[in-house]
């Protein structure tokens, strides 16, 4: 089978490595992929947003199955466009990807169907939002409605910060059209859990839980990033919490999307906060998380392609989805300065052992060398029987990888270890 994966980061590399385990896979193209994954697939210089070119490539190359991984092509209808040409795909249609594409949509969905989430108000007009802030409880959370490269959420610790956030989104159009509508919501507290799930619109199968580390610096300090590391499973996601999530969040969300005529098929990501009043939804993503995928898929024991095809064919209920009972830790090696400005183009060297366990997020191949080419450069994943061992092994591997301005957090998994001791 010839496969195609749309996207080009560490998440896509993890998906590709897992898909390759199926013996019927003869070739995998990554659009655009990156030079660091060229041993596992064929990178093709077509961007993830170039939908017409993606479809033309798939038709010309007789692609048997496509996986669309990033949020923006999903929201733009990449799956719809590929299916129109008869290419079977993994990923939601645009009318379901809106669950991530519009926060106003997802908040209203949760309110309508009684799915637990932070209390909120929607504003389309700046003065109304500013007037509301005069008496809103502080801290408060301001969210741009649309996609904003993960930067559209501002936790305001003061009324002034909240006002600045509203003005930057609604008057200064910091996120363009994405900020035309905003959500102002209640600040929630508690540990966060990411649960990715497979769903074919009838059945929902949660994957092993994970924990992201979004801030740039140790101790959860510094700016928000795309994610500096992950561990799985997440110790805050106990069997009891999992059961509540299934009943109060996962099944109601699938049913709600069906009731709205927006059946979701693909990977639905639940960003949860375990508050003292129980689990609540912080966000939905219409795709695999990055870098959650880099710890979740290495623990998947069943065949990924078989599961994905079962989602497409709506036979997930009859398909085995089994996870290992081991633990995983992924440490992201970034370029110093990320998420702001950083230098790139430094040669990356690593041991063969490290290479086998590294997912490449941002690198190019030039004259036989691998050069850093992004903010997040590598994701280094190790698996072990216990979480402390997985963390130790992952950091051992990091020591076998070098590039000049490498930067990484030293405390990935620390909060999870504290939870295990509680
Ligand atoms: P999002 O882009 O929606 O994932 O939000 C980014 C991060 O902001 C989340 O992972 C949370 O850490 C934080 N966040 C979002 N909404 C809230 C909220 N209502 N209360 C507290 N923290 C939040
Ligand atoms: N790691 C969070 C995300 O993929 O949105």
Show which of 152, 180, 208 is a domain's final residue: 180
**What residue owns the CA closest to ligand 2's atom 3?**
289
Reported as type and span, the H/E element at residue 111 is helix 103-113
Q: Does 70 contact ligand 2 (Cβ within 6 A)?
A: no
Residue 305 sits in the same domain as residue 249: yes
- Closest atom of ligand 2 relative to the 212 alpha carbon: 1
Residue 303 sits in the same domain as residue 339: no
Q: Does 146 contact ligand 2 (Cβ within 6 A)?
A: no
CB 277 within 8 A of CB 200: no
Residue 216 sits in the same domain as residue 281: yes
Residue 46 sits in the same domain as residue 131: no
Identify the domain containing residue 7 by its residue range: 2-93
Q: Does 292 contact ligand 2 (Cβ within 6 A)?
A: yes
- Backbone Cα Rg of the chain: 21
Burial annotation 250-283 (CB, 10 A radius, 16+ → b, else e):
bebbbebbeebebbbbbbbbbbbbbeeeebbbbb
Instruction: Reduce the DSSP state of residue 72 to 3 states and report it.
Output: helix
CA pair distance 399, 135, nearest whole angstrom: 51
Give 348's DSSP letter.
P
> What CATH code is carried by the domain that includes residue 408?
3.90.600.10
> What CATH code is carried by the domain that includes residue 31?
3.40.50.20
Residue 302 sits in the same domain as residue 244: yes
User: Which pLDDT belongs to residue 56?
Assistant: 98
E strands, 169-320, are: 182-186, 192-199, 204-206, 211-212, 215-217, 221-224, 229-232, 266-275, 278-285
Domains in the chain, number: 4
Task: Note whether residue 176 is domain-resident.
Answer: yes
CA atoms within 13 A on the CB side of 344: 20
> What CATH code is carried by the domain that includes residue 277?
3.30.470.20
Task: Note whether residue 209 is domain-resident.
Answer: yes
Residue 11 sits in the same domain as residue 66: yes
Show which of 291, 318, 345 is a domain's final residue: 318
- Closest atom of ligand 2 relative to the 291 alpha carbon: 1
Task: Note whether residue 186 is domain-resident.
Answer: no
User: Which pLDDT belongs to residue 39?
Assistant: 95
Query: How far is ligand 2, taken at its centre, from the CA of residue 134, in Å?
Result: 32
CA pair distance 245, 235, nearest whole angstrom: 15
Task: Note whether residue 237 is domain-resident.
Answer: yes
Residue 288 sits in the same domain as residue 331: no
Q: Does 34 contact ligand 2 (Cβ within 6 A)?
A: no
Q: Which of 288, 290, 334 to mutate to test the pocket of ligand 2 (most atoms within 8 A of CB)?
A: 290
Query: How far is ligand 1, taken at its centre, from the CA of residue 282, in Å?
Result: 6
Does residue 122 come out as left (phi exceeding 0), alpha (psi in the -120 to 50 range) or beta? beta
Task: Note whether residue 113 is domain-resident.
Answer: no
Query: How far is ligand 2, taken at its centre, from the CA of residue 227, in Å?
Result: 7
Show which of 318, 340, 364 is a domain's final residue: 318
Task: Note whether residue 101 is domain-resident.
Answer: no
Task: Note whether residue 73 is domain-resident.
Answer: yes
Residue 309 sits in the same domain as residue 363: no
User: Which pLDDT belongs to residue 366?
Assistant: 94
Residue 347 sits in the same domain as residue 292: no
List per-residue pLDDT tens for the chain, 422 residues long.
999 999 999 999 999 999 999 999 999 999 999 999 999 999 999 999 999 999 999 999 999 999 999 999 999 999 999 999 999 999 999 999 999 999 999 999 999 999 999 999 999 999 999 999 999 999 999 999 998 877 789 999 999 999 999 999 999 999 988 889 999 999 999 999 999 999 999 999 999 999 999 999 999 999 889 999 999 999 999 999 999 999 999 999 999 999 999 999 999 999 999 999 999 999 999 999 999 999 999 999 999 999 999 999 999 999 999 999 999 999 999 999 999 999 999 999 999 999 999 999 999 999 999 999 999 999 999 999 999 999 999 999 999 999 999 999 999 999 999 998 87
Instruction: Reduce the DSSP state of residue 174 to 3 states and report it.
Output: coil
Residue 353 sits in the same domain as residue 270: no
Task: Note whether residue 49 is domain-resident.
Answer: yes
Instruction: Reduce the DSSP state of residue 267 to 3 states and report it.
Output: strand
User: Quick check: pTM over 0.75?
Assistant: yes
Tokens of 416: 């999870």
Residue 212 sits in the same domain as residue 296: yes
User: Which pLDDT belongs to residue 148?
Assistant: 84
- Closest atom of ligand 1 relative to the 186 alpha carbon: 19
User: Which pLDDT belongs to residue 150?
Assistant: 73
Residue 299 sits in the same domain as residue 384: no
User: Which pLDDT belongs to residue 386?
Assistant: 97
User: Which pLDDT belongs to residue 224?
Assistant: 87
């Amino acid at each position: 089978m010839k496969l195609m994966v749309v996207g080009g980061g560490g998440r896509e590399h993890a998906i590709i490595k897992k898909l390759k385990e199926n013996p019927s896979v003869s070739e995998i193209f990554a659009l655009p992929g990156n030079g660091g994954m060229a041993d596992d697939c064929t990178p093709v210089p077509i961007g993830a947003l170039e939908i017409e070119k993606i479809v033309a490539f798939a038709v010309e190359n007789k692609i048997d199955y496509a996986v669309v991984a990033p949020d923006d092509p999903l929201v733009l209808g990449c799956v719809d466009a590929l299916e129109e040409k008869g290419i079977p795909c993994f990923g939601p249609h645009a009318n379901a990807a809106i669950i991530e594409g519009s926060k106003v949509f997802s908040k209203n969905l949760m309110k309508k169907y009684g799915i637990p989430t932070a209390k909120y108000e929607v504003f389309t007009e700046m003065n109304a939002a500013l007037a509301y802030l005069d008496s809103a409880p502080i801290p408060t959370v301001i969210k741009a409605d649309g996609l904003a490269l993960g930067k559209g959420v501002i936790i305001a610790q003061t009324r002034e910060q909240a006002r600045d956030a509203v003005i930057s989104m609604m008057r200064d159009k910091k996120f363009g059209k994405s900020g035309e509508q905003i959500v102002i919501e209640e600040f929630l507290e508690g540990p966060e859990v990411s649960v990715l799930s497979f769903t074919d619109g009838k059945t929902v199968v949660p994957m092993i839980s994970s924990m992201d580390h979004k801030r740039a610096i140790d101790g959860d300090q510094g700016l928000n990033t795309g994610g500096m590391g992950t561990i799985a499973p997440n110790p805050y996601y106990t069997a009891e919490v999992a059961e509540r999530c299934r009943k109060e969040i996962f099944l109601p969300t699938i049913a709600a999307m069906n009731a709205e005529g927006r059946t979701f098929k693909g990977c639905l990501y639940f960003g949860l906060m375990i508050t003292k009043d129980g689990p609540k939804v912080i966000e939905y993503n219409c795709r695999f998380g990055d870098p959650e995928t880099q710890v979740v898929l290495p623990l998947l024991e069943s065949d990924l392609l078989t599961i994905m095809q079962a989602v497409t064919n709506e036979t997930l209920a009859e398909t085995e989805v089994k996870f290992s009972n081991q633990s995983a830790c992924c440490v992201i090696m970034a370029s110093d300065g990320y998420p702001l400005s950083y230098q790139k183009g430094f040669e990356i060297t690593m041991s063969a052992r490290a290479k086998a366990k590294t997912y490449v997020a941002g690198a190019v191949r030039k004259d036989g060398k691998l050069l850093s080419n992004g903010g997040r450069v590598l994701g280094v994943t190790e698996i072990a029987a216990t979480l402390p061992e997985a963390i130790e092994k992952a950091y051992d591997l990091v020591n076998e990888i070098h590039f000049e301005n490498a930067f990484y957090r030293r405390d990935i998994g620390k909060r999870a270890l504290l939870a295990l001791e509680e």
